[in-house]
Structure 1
């Protein structure tokens, strides 16, 4: 069954309107849009669409930057994003110098008059462009590869563009997983050393070797450069590596001493917009990356199967959205119908059906009373009615009580529930019913034998555990 589990936990995204506002506020996209509005018929560009050098001081001034080398570099970067995101369209070269001109592109109007989805599509194009920049070689490190003609000899350049892209994709994927996993980083930042180590250190390695530590250190320095580039597009919030840690230029930083020292080695977190962007790249690559709300317009059968292995908070949020889009009590009847079944996933569907029903009010009662005599649903219906103090709820037959007990434990086993909680459940069931195993092995449930074996492993009393194993043997013999 574990093979059916989603690759990643579901992410809780902000609304498209909120994400679009964040995209428009991203410094790099905002600068690119300002340059696109600044550009006119006299704007000159090179053969590759870049602003010619003579235009850079004016572009920097249009952005409120100084007209020095740094301002020109920032203006050049913003212009490249404007071109790659479709905020400007570059015409073909028209003169003998090979220069062309630029006009406003279709995407520029979408930033102000388009839908939130239009804005986010443009932002994703800008993110793709920044990602490409972040995985490009740092040419300053390859000065010796510049030939006499001033051109870079790519044949001698030790750079694998696909490997570089895969590494950064993996880093962002790990950061995404840490953010969306319950018990992970959540909203907090992740230390850069830990993120680099997650890509370098093998899972089964105890004490990292000096070679591995050197690789982690190299990866940290590369990631430091990359996150500095990714922050202005709004993907991450980043605290860079403290340059004071470097004893001399070119030296590797010493290992951190304590938790406070770790922060000086770089801290990074995905923004809500970053979560959206990384997920979009994952989906494009064919990765299963669910989001809360994906199932809200689906049937109850899809809902109960879809949230089978969601973390508790995400499952509740998904169910709340589903219920909000459906009319009760017809939605309750649909949930109950979807919860039926003797297949392997049946217990888990019924568990999540029960949790969904806990979110409903009095209007659900008629539908629940309709299934009181149902062998699979009668028990959970009685639980719901009893918890709300409903009158005239018939006592369940003994067979239903034991069937519900087996079904409940089977569901907990399917999701690898909390061990202590599961042990408490087992002890409570055995303690409440004298002769529990004498009756339990006869239960007509496909998981009876597996549940009894598990009870034998979980119960701390050796005598009771032995009784459980004997009951499991009887159940298998009967089957």
Structure 2
């Protein structure tokens, strides 16, 4: 994998069967399926495959929609999705025919329609993904308010007359969906409980990270983006991609009387009036598919289940705790407990930079294996890299015949544990408490620690110097780190 390829936290997806049920229940796809079944010999379509205007009332009635402009528009959109996803096949007008047959094309059931009932979940999800792509294209299309300004004398639309950059529009919307996806999976990898305020989502794409108080120009850009996103999320909700609470219509009316854009809320205002959005489980699936297509590394829990233990422990390095446990449980479910324990312990060995974190994840995985891991754990009691881990695991399970570790093993395990925590979490408050507790339990810790034969000794001691609240002990840690580096120098 290229080093510059973006990597996201893993997502916990629902099963294909659950997602397929959600897809078929989404209003837009459900309507498209119903219209595909409704289409027949009498169906007439225009040159672009659209239902002719005279047939829209019947299509709306078939869907139980009101007999007004909104009902006709919704029926027209559902028909277009049916055509774009292959649920319906349309034919062009027959120029050799006479009457209506020469003016209009026909329609019939497409190859995708039988897959809705006889295909598998992946077939349904493929149809839904095509619907997502079609709605995405609509959402990034230009808003044609005044056709007179852009329609030439020959009746063709002059896109150059529009203030519209298709690549920029697509990039912006994909960026918004990517940020929404990241916010969701960073919270544990599954569909988020709390929706994201629309102003925050718009600002995440526009306001520079290093900007303090946004300028009026930036706030105006955020306002314009909010209104564009409001329209787009309204389009995505019937697809089942998002749950969306739109911008308050009363707010829009208030602002329109002042001929101004909707300004982002102040701290005192109810942010929900400005729109709230969250991805559904189906939305997570769909956005992830687009991210993968764009070359983003967007893993899902279960991706490592068929890999070996080396790939599992290396992969878990970037997993949040909840997702790591779920991934490990799936990996273990496909293996015998004893064999899994042997595999995990073998993969945990090493003196490379990632080895301490592999050992930490190995220890956590072994807790899920349970008592059947004990023979494999006891077999590594004398191993210099795994012996300390094995003793901790046995003691935590209540074993009483665990051989006491040597002093060198105690210090090696301490350095290894802190190195793993640094790699996993940086330097949070919990790690500071671990460091201070460790030093407090071992008098003269730093006098011995700098001698530990571990690749991360100097790095760990430097971190302990940053983390320890006692200035005197922090200074001792820094001195010990210098000694360790001098000792390791060629």
Give me the TM-score of the superposition, normalised by structure 2.
0.94
Rounded Cα–Cα distance in structure 1 between residues aligned with 2:470 and 2:4: 34
Query: Cα distance 1:255–1:309, how it changes in 2: closer, same or farther (>3 A)?
Result: closer
Q: Say which is worse superposed, 417-426 or 323-332, in terms of deviation.
A: 417-426
Conserved 8 A contact 2:188-2:323: no
Rounded Cα–Cα distance in structure 2 between residues aligned with 1:434 and 1:4: 45
> 1:169 is matched with which residue: 157, 174, 177?
174
| Superposition map of 1:372-383 within 5 A | 372-383=381-392
Query: Cα distance 1:141–1:213, how it changes in 2: closer, same or farther (>3 A)?
Result: farther
Conserved 8 A contact 2:246-2:275: yes
Q: Which residue of 1 aligns with 2:416?
A: 407
Query: Cα distance 1:112–1:168, how it changes in 2: closer, same or farther (>3 A)?
Result: same
Q: Say which is worse superposed, 180-189 or 56-65, in terms of deviation.
A: 180-189
Aligned with 1:106: secondary structure?
A: coil
Conserved 8 A contact 2:5-2:297: no
Q: Which residue of 2 aligns with 1:107?
A: 112
Q: Which residue of 1 aligns with 2:340?
A: 331
Conserved 8 A contact 2:419-2:460: yes
Query: Cα distance 1:257–1:457, how it changes in 2: closer, same or farther (>3 A)?
Result: closer
Q: Which residue of 2 aligns with 1:76?
A: 76
Q: Which residue of 1 aligns with 2:228?
A: 222
The alpha-carbon deviation at position 192 of structure 1 amounts to: 0.7
Conserved 8 A contact 2:188-2:322: no
| Superposition map of 1:261-276 within 5 A | 261-276=270-285
Q: Which residue of 1 aligns with 2:219?
A: 213
Rounded Cα–Cα distance in structure 1 between residues aligned with 2:316 and 2:445: 32
Rounded Cα–Cα distance in structure 1 between residues aligned with 2:455 and 2:76: 67
The alpha-carbon deviation at position 6 of structure 1 amounts to: 6.5
The alpha-carbon deviation at position 150 of structure 1 amounts to: 4.6
In the alignment, structure 1 residue 119 sits paired with structure 2 residue 128: no
Q: Which residue of 1 aligns with 2:63?
A: 63
- Can you give the 5+ residue segments of structure 1 that lack an aligned partner in the other structure? none
In the alignment, structure 1 residue 282 sits paired with structure 2 residue 291: yes
TM-superposition CA deviations, 1:336-359 (whole Å, max 9, x none): 000000001000100111111121
The alpha-carbon deviation at position 416 of structure 1 amounts to: 3.1
The alpha-carbon deviation at position 70 of structure 1 amounts to: 2.2
TM-superposition CA deviations, 1:305-337 (whole Å, max 9, x none): 001021111111111111111111110010000
Conserved 8 A contact 1:245-1:254: no
Rounded Cα–Cα distance in structure 2 between residues aligned with 1:465 and 1:429: 13
The alpha-carbon deviation at position 435 of structure 1 amounts to: 2.1
Aligned length: 477
Rounded Cα–Cα distance in structure 2 between residues aligned with 1:472 and 1:171: 44
Q: Which residue of 2 aligns with 1:88?
A: 88
Q: Which residue of 1 aligns with 2:368?
A: 359
Q: Which residue of 2 aligns with 1:431?
A: 440
Rounded Cα–Cα distance in structure 2 between residues aligned with 1:174 and 1:78: 28
The alpha-carbon deviation at position 254 of structure 1 amounts to: 3.8
The alpha-carbon deviation at position 143 of structure 1 amounts to: 4.5
The alpha-carbon deviation at position 146 of structure 1 amounts to: 3.2
Q: Say which is worse superposed, 47-56 or 344-353, in terms of deviation.
A: 47-56
TM-superposition CA deviations, 1:138-161 (whole Å, max 9, x none): 112554323455543222122111
In the alignment, structure 1 residue 197 sits paired with structure 2 residue 210: no
Query: Cα distance 1:263–1:354, how it changes in 2: closer, same or farther (>3 A)?
Result: same
Q: Say which is worse superposed, 459-468 or 176-185, in terms of deviation.
A: 176-185
Rounded Cα–Cα distance in structure 1 between residues aligned with 2:287 and 2:216: 32
Q: Which residue of 2 aligns with 1:152?
A: 157
Q: What is the RMSD computed on CA atoms of the aligned residues? A: 1.8
Rounded Cα–Cα distance in structure 2 between residues aligned with 1:141 and 1:257: 34
> 2:320 is matched with which residue: 306, 311, 315?
311
Rounded Cα–Cα distance in structure 2 between residues aligned with 1:170 and 1:465: 43
Rounded Cα–Cα distance in structure 2 between residues aligned with 1:346 and 1:122: 43
Rounded Cα–Cα distance in structure 1 between residues aligned with 2:155 and 2:136: 27
Query: Cα distance 1:132–1:211, how it changes in 2: closer, same or farther (>3 A)?
Result: same
> 2:403 is matched with which residue: 391, 394, 399?
394
TM-superposition CA deviations, 1:364-417 (whole Å, max 9, x none): 111100000000000010001001111321101111111100100111111234
Conserved 8 A contact 2:199-2:264: no
